[in-house]
Structure 1
Amino acid sequence: MPSGQLTKRRALFQLAARQHGYVTAAQAVEAGYSHQAQKYHVDRGNWVRVDRAVFRLLDWPAHPEDHLVRWVLWSGGLGVVSHASALSVHDLGDLDPAKVHLSVPARFRRSASEIVLHRPLPPDIDIEDREGFRVTTPSRALAECAQARIEQHWLDGAVAEALSRGLTTPRRLRAAATELGVAAELGAHVALEAAGR
């Protein structure tokens, strides 16, 4: 393999390694793969087209958070995993949302039936970086779920677990809920009282 090809391939694989095997068309172009070369790799079965301008390299090992990376890339890297999906990432409570919850900028205009979009993006202080995606902090995710009025017993369990694991404090949760309004404040207050806090 010529050294130029090897350099391109290495750049693409390094990027894919940070994103669970996924790359966008724009990222592939940046690594040196023209749109024609991308079509070639899809046609040859080297890459799998998972969405418009989103590919997954063939035979990449599966990871439980692959679908989150896919949807963040679908959003052009703008989306942040949030709400009930963020609780799942933090392994809080028993929620297993059927759809991925993604917070996006107010101006974002795409949609897909497999996801629930929330606007606007949370402030950077309420976001954590993960491998291949960003996610709201435990405090923010709990407050978002309270604002969305998930069933209180689900929220109570997630808040109790977050407190016992040291992922949030009553003060941080109340502050996050206050930013999101009355529904979030009420849900957080009830959950904290249920946890004896």
Structure 2
Amino acid sequence: MGSSEDTRRARLWRRAAHQRGYFTAAQAIEDGYTYQAQHYHVDTGKWVRVDRGVYRLREFGDLPAGEHDHLVRWALWSQGDGVISHITALAIHDLGIANAARIHLTVPPGFRRQHPSIALHRTELAPDEVEEHEGFRVTRPARAIAESAAEGVDQDVIDSAVAELLDRGVATKGQLLRAAQRVGSRAELAVERAIHRELT
């Protein structure tokens, strides 16, 4: 293996290591792998194709899986536009009793891709509503509660999430209400109910 191969592999490895072993075809191109070289690495088993244009280095499949590894895949599938959100975000933050059947992803209004495993929500998120995790972005706890409430998630789920959020001191009642107001009246009503039940 020549020095140029060592260099491009090192670049890709560093990138993939921050994305739980995942990377896109476009990222591989940036790191020096032509499409022909990408096909070769898939054919020889060095890379695993997990979706159209999304790969994972084989070695990462041999490591113990992280709880949120699969979310990196969907962040890459969305070409970096997607933010894990709604009840999937509640689960990441370990708030309440949420259990999503599909992964919820918030994308910009012009986003066009679809996938049966993904529940897409199209809206613009403000920078203060999002936080970085290893390899993906997720809506902050107060936003996750508000957007879940706006989608009509059971009040019991909202109540439990609000109770845990306030108990941990992650956000104040005022911050939670402001997050709900940004999302809409349905969210505001559900969050107000949850706060009232927490105080009684």
**Cα deviation per residue 1:30-55 (whole Å; 9 max; x = unaligned)?**
00011101100101111111111000
Give 1:149 shift: 1.2
Please, what TM-score do these two structures have when normalized by structure 1? 0.98
- Partners of 2:11 and 2:124 lie apart in 1 by 30
TM-fit CA distance, 1:153: 0.7
* TM-score after normalising by structure 2: 0.96
**CA-CA distance at 1:3 after TM superposition:** 1.3
**Partner of 1:55 in structure 2?**
55
1:42 aligns with 2:45: no
What is the match of residue 27 of structure 1?
Answer: 27
Query: How many residues align structurally?
Result: 197
Give the percent of matched residue pairs that are identical in Structure 1 and Structure 2: 50
SS of the residue corresponding to residue 119 of structure 2 reads: strand
Q: Write out per-residue CA displacement over residues 70-106 of structure 1, whole angstroms, 9 at most, x where no aligned residue.
A: 0110000100000001111111112121211000000
Counterpart mapping for 1:1-197 below 5 A: 1-60=1-60, 61=63, 62-196=65-199
Q: Unpaired segments of 5 or more residues in structure 2?
A: none
Give me the whole-angstrom Cα distance separating, in 2, the residues matched to 1:11 and 1:167: 37
CA apart distance, 1:121: 2.9
> Can you list the C-alpha shifts for 1:133-161, whole angstroms capped at 9, x where unaligned?
00000010010011111000111001100
Q: CA deviation at 1:194?
A: 1.1
RMSD: 0.9
Q: Aligned partners of 1:195 and 1:38: how far apart in 2? A: 54
Runs of 5+ in structure 1 lacking a partner? none
- For 1:40, give the aligned amino acid: Y
SS at match of 2:49: strand
After TM superposition, which residue ranges in structure 1, 4 or more long, deviate above 4 angstroms? none
Shift of residue 119, structure 1, vs aligned partner: 0.9
Once the 2 structures are TM-superposed, how far is the Cα of residue 59 of structure 1 from its aligned partner? 2.6
- Alignment partners' CA distance in 2, 1:133 and 1:89: 11
